[in-house]
């Protein structure tokens, strides 16, 4: 169907895919909150949410509904426009990162190949990097707009933390890039499909990336920006209703996306062992691949939660020291060693 020389099937297909991905990430985020509480309860030997629905499964819906119907409070001292802009940016950013992640290989529907990736751009990693670094604006603007000393301090802390950990993250990715020679996430996955997963070549890089991902998501043990015992709840102290919800959701979506990203870059993405030698229909393999990716992602989400309830929070100076004085040199060393090894093998 071509009208005005535009391929309308393509657009419909993409719109559908985007809707699915967005809904999926929202649902995953919602149920991450539930999961988190369950994991916490399990680790701390408690019960966790169990009233709303079986095993408290409806709890996230109840929370969401509650947030919608809460009163919207915008403090008089705050900057109104920025106050609303902050959480919006946070949410926007969270929604955008999923665009370049290959959720699966190509399906063939009615003879037409349909890629399970919203956009396969050749600079996928850079795209994610760029979008994620916008997230800092959401927090910064939110904290500033609140005109609250705690919020401001928290947002400044958050900004410093996020940008500090962006450096080793970028360096870790460079090592990966040397290995793969491409910034396209699809290419990276395809390479892992036929060989070992990248984590085997890049254990240190993976570790650095993981730590940085924790810091980027403001997850424990790096959740200084919302350290409730010193900052009253951090940068979203003044927020209520869905604006608070956005900040919280954005955090969980980010966690989901980071997990998916780690899985994609270091653990083969939708590729799983022997996927090409099972002799199954390509469509089935693709769906299995998607499931594989999803499982890997869930594992990482669980890992995130596990760490949160295991490792105590860093002090701020420790956090910055770790970021600058340990992670950056480590990442640099990783990059150089990777480069040297690859070159040595080449000759």
Partner 1 sequence: MYTDTVFLSATTTPFSYFPIVLQLVAALGFVGITMLATHFLGPKRKTSDKLINFESGIEQKGNARQPVAIKYFLTAILFVLFDVEVIFFYPYAVNFRELGWEGFVAVLMFVGFFLCGFIYITKKGALKWED
Q: Of 296, 275, 297, 273, whose CA–CA distance to 286 is shortest?
A: 275
> Is residue 257 at the binding interface for partner 1, with CB under 8 A as the rule?
no
Number of residues in contact with partner 1 under rule CB under 8 A: 92
> Is residue 304 at the binding interface for partner 1, with CB under 8 A as the rule?
no
Task: Output 181 or 203, the one with its CB closest to partner 1.
Answer: 181
Of residues 16-55, which lie at the interface with partner 1 (CB under 8 A)? 17-19, 22
Residue 177 CB, nearest approach to partner 1 (Å): 4
Residue of the chain from 163, 278, 337, 341 that contacts partner 1 (CB under 8 A): 163
> CA–CA separation, 221 vs 240, rounded Å?
25
Task: Output 178 or 210, the one with its CB closest to partner 1.
Answer: 178
ω into 221 cis (within 30 of 0): yes
> Is residue 61 at the binding interface for partner 1, with CB under 8 A as the rule?
no
Got the DSSP string for 88-134? HHHHHHHHHGGGG---SSEEEETTEEEESSS---TTHHHHHHHHHHH
Residue of the chain from 39, 101, 141, 237 that contacts partner 1 (CB under 8 A): 237
Q: Of 20, 24, 22, 29, whose CA–CA distance to 249 is shortest?
A: 29
Residue 240 CB, nearest approach to partner 1 (Å): 8
Q: Of 95, 234, 121, whose CA–CA distance to 187 is shortest?
A: 121
> CA–CA separation, 33 vs 31, rounded Å?
5
Query: Quick one: which segment of 41-49, 140-148, 203-211, 303-311 binds partner 1 (CB under 8 A)?
Result: 140-148
Site string for partner 1, 328-347 (x = CB under 8 A): xx--x--xx--xx-xx--x-
Query: Quick one: which segment of 219-227, 258-266, 304-312, 320-328 binds partner 1 (CB under 8 A)?
Result: 320-328
> Is residue 242 at the binding interface for partner 1, with CB under 8 A as the rule?
yes
> CA–CA separation, 175 vs 253, rounded Å?
26
> Is residue 306 at the binding interface for partner 1, with CB under 8 A as the rule?
no
Torsion of CA 206, 212, 213, 215, to 10 degrees: 160
Q: What is the DSSP letter of 324?
A: I
Residue 13 CB, nearest approach to partner 1 (Å): 9
Site string for partner 1, 74-113 (x = CB under 8 A): xxxxx-----x---x--xx--xx-xxx-------------
Task: Output 7 or 43, the one with its CB closest to partner 1.
Answer: 7
> Is residue 316 at the binding interface for partner 1, with CB under 8 A as the rule?
yes
Helix, strand, coil % in the chain, rounded to nearest 5: 70, 5, 25
Site string for partner 1, 213-232 (x = CB under 8 A): -------------------x
| Widest Cα–Cα separation across the chain | 67
Q: What is the DSSP letter of 313?
A: P
| Per-residue CA distances from 277 to 282, 285, 296 (Å) | 11, 10, 21
Please name the residues in contact with 230: beta carbons below 8 A apart, sequence gap of 6 or more: none
Task: Output 63 or 309, the one with its CB closest to partner 1.
Answer: 63
Residue 302 CB, nearest approach to partner 1 (Å): 27
Beta bridge pairs of residue 106: 115
Residue of the chain from 41, 152, 275, 299 that contacts partner 1 (CB under 8 A): 152
């Amino acid at each position: 169907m071509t009208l005005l020389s535009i391929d309308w099937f393509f657009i419909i297909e993409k719109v559908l895919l985007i809707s699915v991905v967005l809904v999926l990430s929202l649902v995953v985020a919602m149920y991450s909150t539930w999961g988190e509480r369950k994991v916490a309860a399990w680790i701390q030997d408690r019960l966790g949410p169990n009233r709303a629905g079986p095993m408290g499964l409806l709890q996230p819906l109840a929370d969401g509904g509650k947030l919608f119907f809460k009163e919207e409070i915008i403090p008089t001292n705050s900057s109104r426009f920025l106050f609303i802009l902050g959480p919006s940016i946070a949410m926007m950013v969270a929604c955008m990162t999923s665009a370049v992640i290959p959720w699966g290989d190509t399906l063939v529907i009615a003879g037409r190949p349909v890629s399970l990736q919203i956009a396969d751009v050749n600079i996928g990693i850079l795209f994610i990097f760029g979008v994620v670094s916008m997230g800092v604006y959401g927090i910064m603007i939110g904290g500033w707009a609140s005109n609250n000393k705690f919020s401001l301090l928290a947002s400044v802390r958050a900004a410093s933390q996020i940008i500090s950990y962006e450096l080793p993250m970028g360096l870790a990715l460079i090592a990966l890039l040397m290995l793969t020679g491409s910034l396209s996430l699809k290419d990276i996955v395809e390479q892992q499909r036929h060989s070992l997963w990248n984590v085997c070549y890049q254990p240190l890089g993976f570790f650095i990336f993981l730590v940085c991902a924790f810091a980027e998501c403001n997850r424990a043990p790096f959740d200084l920006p919302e350290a409730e015992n010193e900052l009253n709840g951090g940068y979203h102290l003044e927020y209520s209703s869905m604006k608070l919800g956005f900040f919280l959701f954005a955090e969980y979506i980010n966690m989901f996306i980071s997990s998916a990203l780690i899985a994609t870059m270091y653990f083969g993405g939708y590729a799983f062992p022997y996927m090409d030698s099972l002799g199954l229909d390509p469509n089935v393999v693709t769906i299995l691949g998607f499931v594989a990716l999803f499982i890997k992602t869930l594992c990482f989400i669980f890992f995130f939660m596990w760490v949160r309830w295991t490792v105590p929070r860093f002090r701020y100076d420790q956090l910055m020291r770790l970021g600058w004085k340990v992670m950056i040199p480590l990442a640099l060393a990783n990059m150089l060693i990777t480069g040297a090894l690859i070159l040595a093998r080449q000759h």
